[in-house]
Chain A
Amino acid sequence: MLPENLRENAVAASLEAADPGLIVDANTLHNELTLEVVPEKILAALRILKGQKFERLSTVTAVDRYPMEPRFEVVYHLQSVSRNLFVRLKCRVNGEKPEIDSATAVYASANWYERETWDLFGIVFLNHPNLTRIMMPDFWEGHPLRRDYPVHGHKYSYQNE
Chain B
Amino acid sequence: MSETLTPTAETEKHGHTRRMTLNMGPQHPSTHGVLRVLLELEGETVLKCVPDIGFLHTGIEKQCEALNWHQVITLTDRVDYLANLSNNLAYSLAVEKLLELEIPAKAQWMRVLLAELTRINSHLVWLGTHALDIGAMTVFFLCFREREDILRLFEMFAGQRLMTSYIRVGGLALDPPRGWEKRVQTFINTLPSRIDEYESLLNTNPIWLKRTKGVGLLPVEEMLEIGMTGPCIRAAGIPMDARKMMPYSSYEKFDFTVPTSTDNDVYARYAVRVAEMRESAKIVKQAMAGMPEGPVQAAAPKVVLPEREKMKTQMESLIYHFKIVTEGISVPAGEVFQVVESPRGELGYYVVSDGTSKPLRVHMRTPSFGNLQALPNLIEDRMIADSIAIMGSLDFVLGDCDR
A59 at the interface (CB under 8 A from B): yes
Contacting residue for A59 out of B97, B226, B365, CB 8 A:
B365
B361 to chain A: closest residue by CB: A63
- A77/B348 in contact, CB under 8 A: yes
Contact string, B59-91, partner A, CB cutoff 8 A, digits 1/0?
A: 101110110000000000000000000000000
| Known interface pairs A30-B334, A63-B360; A107-B225 also in contact (CB < 8 Å) | yes
Within 8 A of B (CB), among A123-161: 130, 132-138, 144-145, 147, 149, 151
User: With the chains together, A29 CA to B402 CA distance in Å?
Assistant: 30
CB distance from A45 to the nearest CB of B (A): 18
User: With the chains together, A76 CA to B331 CA distance in Å?
Assistant: 23
On chain B, the residues within 8 Å of A145 by CB distance are: 61-62
A57 at the interface (CB under 8 A from B): yes
User: With the chains together, A65 CA to B355 CA distance in Å?
Assistant: 13
B373 at the interface (CB under 8 A from A): yes
User: With the chains together, A68 CA to B2 CA distance in Å?
Assistant: 33
On chain B, the residues within 8 Å of A130 by CB distance are: 2-3
Within 8 A of B (CB), among A70-88: 75, 77, 81, 84, 86, 88
A56 at the interface (CB under 8 A from B): yes
B1 at the interface (CB under 8 A from A): yes
CB distance from A110 to the nearest CB of B (A): 9
Interface hit among B133-141, B238-246, B300-308, B389-397? B238-246
Contacting residue for A111 out of B346, B350, B373, CB 8 A:
B373
On chain A, the residues within 8 Å of B3 by CB distance are: 130, 132
User: With the chains together, A107 CA to B375 CA distance in Å?
Assistant: 16
- A151/B334 in contact, CB under 8 A: no
- B245/A56 in contact, CB under 8 A: no
A32 at the interface (CB under 8 A from B): yes
A90 to chain B: closest residue by CB: B335
CB distance from A3 to the nearest CB of B (A): 17
B109 at the interface (CB under 8 A from A): no
- B373/A77 in contact, CB under 8 A: no
Contacting residue for B350 out of A57, A61, A107, A147, CB 8 A:
A61
Number of interface residues of A (CB under 8 A): 38
A10 at the interface (CB under 8 A from B): no
User: With the chains together, A64 CA to B66 CA distance in Å?
Assistant: 14
On chain A, the residues within 8 Å of B246 by CB distance are: 84, 86
User: With the chains together, A149 CA to B352 CA distance in Å?
Assistant: 18
User: With the chains together, A57 CA to B224 CA distance in Å?
Assistant: 9
On chain A, the residues within 8 Å of B57 by CB distance are: 135-136
B29 at the interface (CB under 8 A from A): no
User: With the chains together, A54 CA to B352 CA distance in Å?
Assistant: 24
CB distance from A43 to the nearest CB of B (A): 16
Contacting residue for B224 out of A29, A55, A59, CB 8 A:
A55
Number of interface residues of B (CB under 8 A): 42
CB distance from B202 to the nearest CB of A (A): 30
On chain B, the residues within 8 Å of A102 by CB distance are: none
Within 8 A of B (CB), among A14-67: 29-30, 32, 34, 55-59, 61, 63-65
On chain A, the residues within 8 Å of B222 by CB distance are: 108
On chain B, the residues within 8 Å of A135 by CB distance are: 53-54, 57, 402-403
User: With the chains together, A111 CA to B240 CA distance in Å?
Assistant: 22
Contact string, B341-370, partner A, CB cutoff 8 A, digits 1/0?
A: 000001010101000000011010100011
Contacting residue for A30 out of B98, B369, B402, CB 8 A:
B98
B337 at the interface (CB under 8 A from A): yes
User: With the chains together, A114 CA to B335 CA distance in Å?
Assistant: 20
- A61/B363 in contact, CB under 8 A: yes
- B65/A32 in contact, CB under 8 A: no
Contact string, B34-68, partner A, CB cutoff 8 A, digits 1/0?
A: 00000000000000000001100101011101100
User: With the chains together, A132 CA to B1 CA distance in Å?
Assistant: 6
User: With the chains together, A75 CA to B352 CA distance in Å?
Assistant: 11
- A138/B2 in contact, CB under 8 A: yes
Contact string, B228-245, partner A, CB cutoff 8 A, digits 1/0?
A: 000000000010100001
Contacting residue for B373 out of A86, A112, A136, CB 8 A:
A112
On chain B, the residues within 8 Å of A149 by CB distance are: 62
Instruction: Count chain B CB atoms within 10 A of each CB in A34, A75, A112 and give the residue with the most.
Output: A112
Contacting residue for B227 out of A57, A84, A132, A136, CB 8 A:
A57
Q: Which 6 A-B pairs have the closest CB atoms?
A: A109-B227, A59-B365, A135-B57, A132-B2, A135-B54, A61-B363
* Interface of A toward B, CB cutoff 8 Å: 29-30, 32, 34, 55-59, 61, 63-65, 75, 77, 81, 84, 86, 88, 107-109, 111-112, 120, 130, 132-138, 144-145, 147, 149, 151
* Interface of B toward A, CB cutoff 8 Å: 1-3, 53-54, 57, 59, 61-63, 65-66, 97-98, 221-222, 224-227, 238, 240, 245-246, 334-337, 339, 346, 348, 350, 352, 360-361, 363, 365, 369-370, 373, 402-403
Given contacts A112-B369, A130-B3, A136-B54, 19 further A-B contacts (CB under 8 A): A29-B335, A56-B225, A56-B227, A59-B348, A64-B361, A77-B348, A81-B245, A86-B337, A88-B337, A107-B225, A108-B226, A109-B226, A109-B227, A133-B2, A135-B54, A135-B403, A136-B57, A147-B65, A151-B66
